[in-house]
Amino acid sequence: MAVSQDFMDFACELFSGLGPTRARRMFGGAGVYAHDLMFALIADDVIHIKAEGALAEDLEAEGCGAFVFTPKSGEPAEMGYRRLPEAALDEPELACEWGRRALDLALSKKR
């Protein structure tokens, strides 16, 4: 999992409609935060958003696969994130609609 600084900056700008965002490197990728909550991750310059339940189903219907992490010594595991739809990469308003749902999910998990 690699992530470039340019792509981290792009993701923060893409989701800027959610308020101040920041990206932080972690485990070879990066987490994307708004309101001090991680709602997205970046791996190999691909954005994945936190997704469960109806949000995961909606993303699956859009053809967005699950983020799967395979540790060097273990079995592959889904991490509760799905790829952001391609169309959202060119439309910040659409990205923020998806991002808002992921942020709401992250907030509900925090409670």
Banded model confidence at residue 27, pLDDT cuts 50, 70, 90: confident
The whole-number pLDDT of residue 1 equals: 58
Indicate the pTM of the whole model: 0.91
Tally the domains of the chain. 1
pLDDT tens digits, residue range 40-58?
Answer: 999 988 999 999 999 999 9
pLDDT at 10 over 90: yes
62 is in which domain, residue-wise?
5-110
The whole-number pLDDT of residue 67 equals: 92
Order the strands of the 46-50 sheet from edge to edge: 21-26, 29-34, 37-43, 46-50, 77-83, 66-69
The whole-number pLDDT of residue 2 equals: 74
In angstroms, rounded to a whole number, what is the distance separating the alpha carbons of residues 18 and 31?
A: 15
pLDDT at 13 over 90: yes
Q: Can you give the CATH number for the domain in which 88 is found? A: 3.30.1460.30
The whole-number pLDDT of residue 53 equals: 95
Q: In Å, how far are 65, 73, 91 from 86, measured between CA atoms?
A: 12, 32, 9
The whole-number pLDDT of residue 76 equals: 83
pLDDT tens digits, residue range 62-95?
Answer: 999 999 887 777 888 788 999 999 999 999 999 9
